[in-house]
Amino acid sequence: MKIEKNKVVTLTYTLKADNADGAVIQEVKEDKPFVHLFGVGTLLPAFENNLAGLEVGDEFGFELASKDAYGENSEKDIVKLELSIFMNNGELDKELVQVGKYIPMQNNDGHVIEGKVLSIEDDGIVMDFNHPLSGQDLYFSGKILEVRDALDEELSHGHVHGPGGHDH
């Protein structure tokens, strides 16, 4: 069975920075494989395009330019926020606010986004809300372990159920 829209795909992968010789960013092995519902818009489109048509047992290796992955870094996603946001009982929460630390926050639409603390200044905290892998070329390699038809319930919910998927 080939990978195509509305198939449940189980795979392993190694994600590296830049190219096949780059530093390992993430590794997903057979004992805890990545299981996803293919073609529903939850993964990077370029990632899915490179997997389309593969079958069980196929191995893959491909590079994604940063523009096709998480995009380029954007200066508009670096902002200075008021100190009051980070105050606890009138004092700056120094355990929470540390240079280099990622802090979960909400955007204006109520979605949770993570920002990295770049600097702590007298009049605010400078945060970077770019994706941690933005501006980074990526290289994926791995193997397809299973391809199956999605269940009606999985299609209606937009995600995989059961082992490796969502339980509810």
In order along the chain (168 residues), what is the average pLDDT of each group of 10 residues?
95 96 97 93 93 97 96 94 91 91 90 94 95 95 96 82 57
> Would the pTM count as exceeding 0.85?
no
Fold that domain 75-128 belongs to in CATH: Thrombin, subunit H (2.40.10)
What digits encode the pLDDT tens for the residues 41-50?
889 999 999 9
For the stretch 108-128, pLDDT in tens is 888 889 999 999 999 999 999
Residues 6+ apart with CB under 8 A from 46: 64, 68, 69
CATH topology of domain 7-70+134-157: Chitinase A; domain 3 (3.10.50)
Tokens (6 digits) for 115: 């920002």
Instruction: Quote the mean pLDDT of the chain.
Output: 92
Q: Identity (one letter) of the amino acid at 119?
A: S
Q: Which pLDDT does position 41 carry in this prediction?
A: 87
Domain boundaries, the chain: 7-70+134-157, 75-128
Q: Give, for 36, the enclosing helix (H) or strand (E).
A: strand 34-37
